[in-house]
Amino acid sequence: MKWNTGLYDQKHDFVSKYGEDVIELLNPKADEHILDLGCGTGDLANIISNAGAHVVGLDSSEDMVNKAREKYPKMEFQVGSATNFTFEKAFDAVFSNAVLHWVLEKEKAISCIYNSLNEGGRFVAEFGGKGNVENIVSALRDALNKYGYTDRANKQVWYFPSLSEYTTLLEQQGFRVTWAAHFDRDTLLKDTDGIKNWIYMFGKSFLEGLEQSVIDQILEEVENEVRPTNFKNGQWYADYVRLRVVAVK
C-alpha cells in the first residue's frame, strides 16, 4: 500500500503520540541496539535514540523511509519487510507500534523478530487487537456491499487478534510473555472529515480504482452509519481497541 506521508504526519500524528507510552514499556537504555519495526516517518525511533540507544528503523514503505531520512538524517532507516528481514548484529530489543495488524503472515513476522534478538532480548509492541475499529470497518464493508463491490467488502486487510491468540503464537515461537493487555482506546480524529480521512489513510485499499463520485458516496454512507457511535461532542473518534505485549527471548 502506498502511504500519504503528509496526511500521516499532519492528520494522524496520534499514531506516534500514543506510541510514546509504548516506549515507556520498552524503557530503552544507553548503548542498547534496538530495532524499530515499522518505523513510519521516524518520530518514535528518534525518541528511542534520544535515550542513548543505537536505533535502526525498518519499514516496508519506501515513502515512509524517505520521509524518516529527511526528518532525521543522522539516523539509520532501511526499507524491508516485517516477514523477511535479517541483520548481521542481533538486537537487544525489537520495538513496534501500530504496525503488526498490517502483517497477515504473523507467524513469519514473529519468527523474524525472535531470530533478530539476542538471548534475553525483549519484544515490545502495540497494535490493533480484536474488535479494533469494528464500527468503521463494518460500516465500510456494508457500504461496499450495498453498491455491489462484494469482493472489496470481503478483503482481508488487517489482523486483529485476541490477547490469548497472539500470546500463544509468541509462546509457540519460544518467547516468554511477561506482560500483555487488551484495551479500548477511542481516538480523536482531527477536523470535520475525520472518518473520511481515516479511511483515506488506513482503508485506502478498499477504494483503489473506484471513481471519485463512487468513493464520495461510500464515505458518506460510512459517516452516516457510524455517526451514532463515533461522533461525540461535535468530534469524530475512531473506535480503537489495542493490544500491547512484552515478551522475552
Per-residue confidence (pLDDT) for residue 190, from 0 to 100: 79
What is residue 10's predicted lDDT score, i.e. its pLDDT? Answer: 44
Residue type, 209: G
Q: How far is CA 132 from CA 46, 161, 215, in A?
A: 27, 9, 23
Cell of 13: 500524528
Amino acid 12: pLDDT: 41
Q: Tell me the per-residue pLDDT of 19-53, one tens digit each, with 9 for 90 and over.
A: 678 999 999 999 999 999 999 999 999 999 999 99
CATH architecture for residues 5-248: 3-Layer(aba) Sandwich (3.40)
- Between the two ends of the chain, the Cα-to-Cα distance in Å is 31
Domain ranges (residues) in the chain: 5-248
Q: At what angle do helices 106-115 and 163-173 cross, to 10 degrees?
A: 50
Which cell numbers in the block locate residue 99? 504496525
Q: How far apart are CA 134 and CA 98, in angstroms?
A: 16
The CA-atom distances, in angstroms, between 12 and each of 2, 173, 177 are 16, 33, 30
Q: Tell me how far apart the alpha carbons of residues 47 and 232 are, in angstroms, rounded to a whole number.
A: 32
The grid coordinates listed for 19 are 506510541
Q: Are 216 and 106 spatial neighbours (Cβ–Cβ below 8 Å)?
A: no
User: Which pTM was predicted?
Assistant: 0.90
> What does the pLDDT read at residue 3?
42
- Residues (pLDDT < 70) of the chain are 1-19
Angle between helices 62-71 and 43-50 (to 10 degrees): 40
pLDDT in tens, 210-228: 999 999 999 999 999 999 9
One-letter amino acid identity for 214?
Answer: V
